[in-house]
Amino acid sequence: RISPEAPVPIVSVNKRENRLGGAANVALNVKALGANPILCSVVGHDQKGQEFIELLQKQKMDTQGIVQSAERITTTKFRVIGNKVQMLRVDEEVDLPLNEKDKVEFLTRFDKIIETGKVDVIIFQDYDKGLINEHLINMVVSKANDLKIPVAVDPKKRNFIAYKNVTLFKPNLKELKEGLNIEFNSKAADELNRAADKLKSLLKTEIVLLTLSEDGVFIDYKDNGEKSTKIIPSNVRSISDVSGAGDTVISVAALCLALKTDPAVLAAVSNLAGGLVCEKVGVVPVDKQRLLKEVIKLIRE
């Protein structure tokens, strides 16, 4: 019903739950698919930060990459959901750059993790919240390339053109247009190709995986040294919530990189996974068994 105080809905609370989101949702997806993620991030030295770490521990996820900062609050997104529909979202966050102390602690933890020799792929899940900057990107990508570890990126505007020499770059249409400051018709294959060429020329990335919302994904890669592109349409689905779909796509794409999967297959499986999570309300990881069934169905077709 509508409030008599203002033209807004009244919501009766019958359940509250805390879920991991943002880069932690990427880690959840990676774990759900059978791999062992190590999340590297910064949270606040506050109640929400402690709850975040406890949620990671509950999921049996490694917390050695998590820095608790006294200078920041933990990013929190409060969603009001009624009848399986999101009605409101309230954000609490700080997006200022890290202070020097937190930077040093973060890099020290990252170095310790990567020096174990047990890292198969690195994912940059960028939300423009102040942790990731050009210096961090250059340092991580350089180390990864020296160790021959593939790097997958889900970018945002602030650092868009800083991600040079990575393995896979996965923007959505809005991010690509803003990042390159261009406008093009996403329905036209030749215009998609030109945009991807411009991006690859600028960033020297090996693979461009562009998500096209309801139109599926576009991939640009080298096949036996020759440029190859594909548009993979999305499946018809009952969409409940698109929250976290991009997290799922980059998670699956990164694991495919670690397994040296053919890029065309990588794109197809990532596309399926992103569609599956849109059928669920809220930020949730992909269901491994459902994804497997869909992949088998795709192969048989």
Residue 208 phi/psi, 5° resolution? -110, 120
Amino acid at 83: N
What value does the CA radius of gyration of the chain take, rounded to a whole number of Å?
A: 20
Catalytic-residue membership of 146: no
What letter would DSSP give residue 159? Answer: T
Contact 141, 155 (CB under 8 A): no
Q: What is the dihedral of CA 70, 72, 74, 76, to 10 degrees?
A: 160
Contacts of 101 (CB under 8 A, 6+ apart): none
Contact 80, 86 (CB under 8 A): yes
Residue 3 class from Cβ within 10 Å (0-12 exposed, 13-18 middle, 19+ buried)? exposed
Catalytic residue among 128, 220, 247, 287: 247
Contact 25, 37 (CB under 8 A): no
Residue positions annotated with a catalytic role: 247
